[in-house]
Amino acid sequence: MIKKKGLYYPLEDFKKKALVKNKSIYKEAKKSPLKFWEKLAGDVFWRKKWSKVFKHDPPYFKWFLNGKLNFSENCLDRNIETAKNKVALIWEPEPVDERPRYFTYFDLYREVNRFANALKELGIKKGDKVGIYLPMIPEVVIAMLACTRIGAVHSVIFSAYSPQALKVRLQDTQEKLLITADGYYRAGSVIDLKKNADEGIKGTKVKKMVVVKRMGNSIKFNKRNNIWWHDLMSKQDDFCEPRVMDSEDPLFVLYTSGSTGKPKGVVHTCGGYTVQAKFTGKWIFDIKDDDIFWSMSDVGWITGHTYSIYSPLLNGASFVMFEGAPNWPEPDRWCSIIEKYGVTTFYTAPTAIRMFQKYGEDLVKKHDLSSLQILGSVGEPIDKESWLWYFKEVGNKKCPIVDTWWQTETGGILITSLPGVGPFKPSFAGLPFPGVKFDVLNSKGKPCSTEEKGDLVILPPFAPGLLRGVYKNPKRYKKTYWNQYGENTYFTSDIAYKDKNGLIRVVGRSDDMIKVAGHRLSTGEMEDFISKTLLVSECAVVGIPDEIKGEMPVVFVVPSKKLTEKKKEDLKKSVVEQIKKGIGPIAFPKEVYVVSDLPKTRSGKIMRRIMKKLFSGEELGDLSTLANPESVDELKKALK
Ligand code: WTA
């Protein structure tokens, strides 16, 4: 890239070939965002065109009203017309000696049609919810698309979530069917997923389970309500008529952490999500016909939905799906994959970049990564040093780095500079996607001045893929997103600022959410679980900086009675155990502190902000408003 006054621009050669190279696109979109999105929607396959582009009834809004379409038809049938035998999915298994699996668009089409018929056989109808608790195997793509083919609403639950975390989510959506697998690999060992699924469905409405045989590990198989995926598929027809859906019908629900202990079911709809997923992917990753796209994110997260699977398919691209961890069995496995398949677009999280960086550039240099054209970053702020390392050592100073800001709620990327236009600035996500209006507001609700930090908000007409609701919880939808600055302003819960060029830098969250290795976790969910299962009178979890993972949780507990030193150690161990049980290994705490009191205001609110500052070394500020300022001294001692 070309560097000018601290900003980076794409090389002429790259620009010439880029799908979007002229910054006039921003002006055009700004003039009429509705016309802009309408033009993009024209490139999606609709069974019936919409009659109105946008309707706003705050805090609700709709896009492409009365338009009719089917999502799987856009991902598959449409590509079959032009690229039937093009490879869609390249699946790289975790064991290096196992053969990859390739699916052309036609292969995938047939598998999806068959599984759609299987779902029908199991009694699944339009609007029914289907739980998917699968690892990174091709069947997860097939299952998700099959749901969309018949108008069922999928809810994918991250396969490394614990049975308890699975249960909470299933209880909210009340699925009758769960699709899972016998097991999967995690860094060489076999995880018994079926066992977790069996435990997780207790106390839920799940009546049947379809089980994919991935590992062949011995599992408990209950013939009454368990069905093998392969048995079910063997008798299905290759075609299933796609169910024509309304633009505003739900497409999927994905749970994400919220400020309270209970996760929120974020609802995305058919029309708006499709348009946004297609075009954000196409323009931000400059997807062309011969590209090989690889997004490392697990399908259990929104990035795994939109960019590991859906956007490449909507754009008829070839994409890699990797079952394992990028540093297994060797730290440079990710480089080997890029080299093996000639990956052109690589999308990962800053945590992974920091980990790669720690292993050192010599490992990277052992590989030919010259196929790379674009590098992406997502999920957490990327620091300047990691950005530069990614830029120099992985992208050979040639690839634009799209630092993409978005959320489960936004459905697709909404801030990042376009690769053929720029500019790029290390640690800044960049410019809003054309047609989307962001602002940064101060506590009075007024726009912040340049470089002044404030709340990042989205203004009407928002974006077609923005969530339409929190599953069966309109109150929470209103309170979380439309309360702070009124019902016309979407509140992101992120703190950001703009520089003099209008580039946006997102600094972090303003709520109790933490990003651990790019995964969004709620400290409230952990606290809830600890308080429910252990004998503690109080508990607080805060996120503190971590060199590799960005953030990690630390836990403070106040036992309900006085404990001996030995018992305190036991309690610490139980806290770690309970977190693993309640959420999963991703929430593993960096430290657990057993203390006799937590700093509180006079009204009893635990001051997590102060506890966080104890770790960062920041000034603690005025402690006189606390009901128990002496508790801070105890914490300071505990931290030494
Ligand atoms: C954070 C992930 C800085 C942010 C797609 C947001 C980022 C939350 C970036 C959403 C970025 C995401 N720079 N922060 N490029 N991308 N975030 O729902 O705090 O898992 O609100 O969606 O991640 O996390 P979620």
Q: Do 263 and 399 have their domain in common?
A: yes
Domain membership of residue 506 (yes or no) is no
CA of 283 to the centre of ligand 1 (A): 20
Arithmetic mean of pLDDT over the chain: 96
Residue 193 Cα to chain centre, angstroms: 21
Q: Do 111 and 177 have their domain in common?
A: yes
Give the pLDDT band of residue 417 (cuts 50, 70, 90). very high
From the CB of 408, is ligand 1 less than 6 Å away? yes
Q: Do 236 and 116 have their domain in common?
A: yes
Give the pLDDT band of residue 180 (cuts 50, 70, 90). very high
In angstroms, rounded to a whole number, what is the distance separating the alpha carbons of residues 230 and 160? 23
Residue 341: predicted pLDDT = 98
CA of 121 to the centre of ligand 1 (A): 39
CA of 509 to the centre of ligand 1 (A): 9
Name the percent of the chain lying above pLDDT 90: 94
Residue 262: predicted pLDDT = 86
| Mutational pocket test of ligand 1: of 497, 515, 522, 525, the residue with most ligand atoms within 8 Å of the beta carbon | 515
What separation, in Å, do the N-terminal and C-terminal C-alpha atoms of the chain show?
46
Angle at CA of residue 251, ends 345 and 40, nearest 5°: 55
How large is the average pLDDT for residues 441-446?
Answer: 95
Residue 392: predicted pLDDT = 98
- Indicate which CATH number applies to the domain containing 577: 3.30.300.30
From the CB of 405, is ligand 1 less than 6 Å away? yes
pLDDT digits (tens, 9 = 90+) for 586-595: 999 999 999 9
Q: Do 574 and 492 have their domain in common?
A: no
Residue 38: predicted pLDDT = 98
Domain of residue 546, residue span: 517-639
Residue closest via CA to ligand 1's atom 14 equals: 380
CA 382 to ligand 1: nearest atom: 13
CA of 295 to the centre of ligand 1 (A): 15
Q: Do 569 and 488 have their domain in common?
A: no
Domain membership of residue 153 (yes or no) is yes
Give the pLDDT band of residue 601 (cuts 50, 70, 90). confident
pLDDT digits (tens, 9 = 90+) for 147-159: 999 999 999 999 9
Numbers of helices and strands, H then E, in the chain: 22, 32
Residue 188: predicted pLDDT = 92
Among candidates 550, 536, 552, which has minimal Cα distance to 587? 552
Q: Do 486 and 531 have their domain in common?
A: no
Residue closest via CA to ligand 1's atom 6 equals: 407
User: Can you tell me which residue has the tokens 């490449």?
Assistant: 312
CA of 430 to the centre of ligand 1 (A): 14
Domain end marker among 496, 531, 553 = 496
Residue closest via CA to ligand 1's atom 7 equals: 380
Give the pLDDT band of residue 625 (cuts 50, 70, 90). confident
Domain membership of residue 550 (yes or no) is yes
Q: Do 90 and 153 have their domain in common?
A: yes
Q: Do 42 and 146 have their domain in common?
A: yes
pTM of the model: 0.95
pLDDT digits (tens, 9 = 90+) for 476-502: 999 999 999 999 999 999 999 999 999
How large is the average pLDDT for residues 382-392?
Answer: 96
Give the pLDDT band of residue 318 (cuts 50, 70, 90). very high
Rounded to the nearest 5°, which phi and psi values hold at 545?
-60, 140
Burial 454-488 (b: 16+ CB within 10 A, else e): bbbbbeebbbbbbbbbbbebeebbbbbbbebeeee
Give the pLDDT band of residue 309 (cuts 50, 70, 90). very high
Higher-pLDDT residue of 260, 523: 523
Task: For residue 262, give both structure tokens.
Answer: 């209970």
Among candidates 193, 613, 192, 273, which has minimal Cα distance to 468? 273
Domain membership of residue 350 (yes or no) is yes
How large is the average pLDDT for residues 341-354?
Answer: 97
- Indicate which CATH number applies to the domain containing 233: 3.40.50.12780
Residue 257: predicted pLDDT = 86
From the CB of 520, is ligand 1 less than 6 Å away? yes
Q: Do 593 and 538 have their domain in common?
A: yes
Domain membership of residue 91 (yes or no) is yes
CA 513 to ligand 1: nearest atom: 19
How large is the average pLDDT for residues 414-440?
Answer: 98
Contact predicate 305/251, CB 8 Å: no
From the CB of 378, is ligand 1 less than 6 Å away? yes
Q: Do 143 and 246 have their domain in common?
A: yes
How large is the average pLDDT for residues 446-466?
Answer: 98
Give the pLDDT band of residue 55 (cuts 50, 70, 90). very high
User: Can you tell me which residue has the tokens 């960062």?
Assistant: 616
Residue 604: predicted pLDDT = 85
Which residues have a Cβ under 8 Å from the Cβ of 22 and sit 6 or more positions away?
421
Domain membership of residue 371 (yes or no) is yes
Rounded to the nearest 5°, which phi and psi values hold at 634?
-65, -40
Residue closest via CA to ligand 1's atom 5 equals: 407
Pairing of strands 208-212, 226-228: parallel
Residue closest via CA to ligand 1's atom 23 equals: 379
Residue 345: predicted pLDDT = 98
Here the contacts of 430-433 (C-beta below 8 Å, separation 24 or greater) are 430/402, 430/403, 430/503, 430/504, 431/26, 431/502, 431/503, 431/504, 432/504, 433/280, 433/283, 433/284, 433/463
Contact predicate 148/448, CB 8 Å: no
CA of 183 to the centre of ligand 1 (A): 30
In angstroms, rounded to a whole number, what is the distance separating the alpha carbons of residues 72 and 205? 27
Residue closest via CA to ligand 1's atom 3 equals: 381
In angstroms, rounded to a whole number, what is the distance separating the alpha carbons of residues 36 and 29? 5
| Mutational pocket test of ligand 1: of 494, 497, 521, the residue with most ligand atoms within 8 Å of the beta carbon | 494
How many independent structural domains does the chain possess?
2
Q: Do 476 and 559 have their domain in common?
A: no
Domain membership of residue 510 (yes or no) is no
CA 256 to ligand 1: nearest atom: 18
Domain membership of residue 501 (yes or no) is no
Q: Do 461 and 526 have their domain in common?
A: no
In angstroms, rounded to a whole number, what is the distance separating the alpha carbons of residues 231 and 242? 23
pLDDT digits (tens, 9 = 90+) for 525-574: 899 889 989 999 999 999 999 999 999 999 999 999 999 999 999 999 99
In angstroms, rounded to a whole number, what is the distance separating the alpha carbons of residues 503 and 9? 14
Domain end marker among 462, 496, 530 = 496
Domain end marker among 466, 496, 526 = 496
From the CB of 480, is ligand 1 less than 6 Å away? no
| Mutational pocket test of ligand 1: of 506, 507, 514, the residue with most ligand atoms within 8 Å of the beta carbon | 506
Give the pLDDT band of residue 617 (cuts 50, 70, 90). confident
